[in-house]
Amino acid sequence: MPRAASQNGASAEAALKRLQAIPSLDEVTTGATAKDVVWTRNKTTLCRYRRETEPTHRVPVVLVYALINRPYILDLRPGNSFVEFLLGEGHDVFLIDWGEPGWEDRDTTLDELIGEHIPRAVRHVLRVSGADTYTLLGYCMGGTFATIHAALRPAGLRNLIALTTPIDFADAGALSTWTDPRFLDAELVASKLGNVPGHLIDFGNKMLKPVTNFIGAPALMWERLMEGRDMEPWLAMHKWVNDGVPFPGAAFVQWIRDFYQQNLLASGTYELAGERVDLRNITASLLVVTGEADHLVPPHMSEPLMDLVASGDRTSRCLRAGHVGLLAGSGAQRGLWPLISDWLGERSS
């Protein structure tokens, strides 16, 4: 047998042994930073991450994530945790976790989640932290929610950070086609399913880049195995990607209709619980961060926010990263994290 073939066979055999030895996804440690629940409403919880010392920055940071997947992408694993990083930088960190809706939550609306839950969570943040102002950091859809809250309840908001946040839905790429009212009746979907299953949304997102997601991802797994590299980072990300939660049916209808189909927010005609959302009410310091390789929320969907607010302090940065890699990829600790730390450090005294 040629030497190269023998070596390849040995490598494949070793990779198979390593494959058999890797833990199941349930055994992979994610979201490990210690935290305490300080407030709840229905399935929504407000968590405060524990600190061993008093924060050096007096302005608490409130993290707002999307309704799809779970928020531990912000606290992926020890050593690769944005939350862990913020704590190390001296911040008092809170998280609004929407939880996992059940059948009984199928009528939950964005009016309730954004208009009621976020303001009440913020009041508890200020109460338990003793602060007068706060920072709101929203990621993806969570950034859209944070922006709407900032426009409706601007008092006390010192800083607004919008990471890969969709604002202008006029051109959402393939998602504009898929959500076109000629092809998608969101009300019909919600009426039949109640809550939209997380795996259905995940499949749609993966179909935006099918080769990468269905061929490239398994290939990367085998490459790591063949090279004998640590599988924990890949497993943690794989666990999160496939750990979707249901989308409340009523909120799903609003999200598709009001944003993707009618683009009401950017046009200034969006209303939440009968109250018009005027982005010009936002006067907080604003940081908009996009990823140039983001296929879910390309930069042109986020950057219009810069011109729609009344903030005197506005910063926009586009990093060489994708939608998830921006926050939790191998380059995040060199790119996004220090960018946010430097920006917040100057505005959180």
Catalytic residues: 140, 294, 323
> Rounded CA gap, 62 and 96, in Å?
7
> Token match 């109460």: residue?
127
> Rounded CA gap, 165 and 158, in Å?
19
Cα 211 to Cα 242, 321, 322: the distances in Å are 17, 18, 16
Order of strands, sheet of 35-41, starting from the edge strand that comes earlier in the sequence: 35-41, 44-49, 93-97, 61-64, 134-139, 157-163, 285-291, 314-319
Angle at 261 between CA 249 and CA 166, to 5 degrees: 85
Which among 336, 334, 259, 333 has a CA at the least distance from the CA of 291?
Answer: 336
> Rounded CA gap, 24 and 27, in Å?
5
Query: Which residue intervals of the chain are DSSP H helices?
Result: 3-21, 82-88, 110-112, 118-129, 141-152, 174-178, 186-193, 198-206, 210-211, 217-227, 232-241, 249-254, 264-267, 299-302, 305-308, 325-328, 336-345
Angle at 327 between CA 322 and CA 333, to 5 degrees: 110
User: Strand, helix or coil at 89?
Assistant: coil
CA atoms within 13 A on the CB side of 196: 24
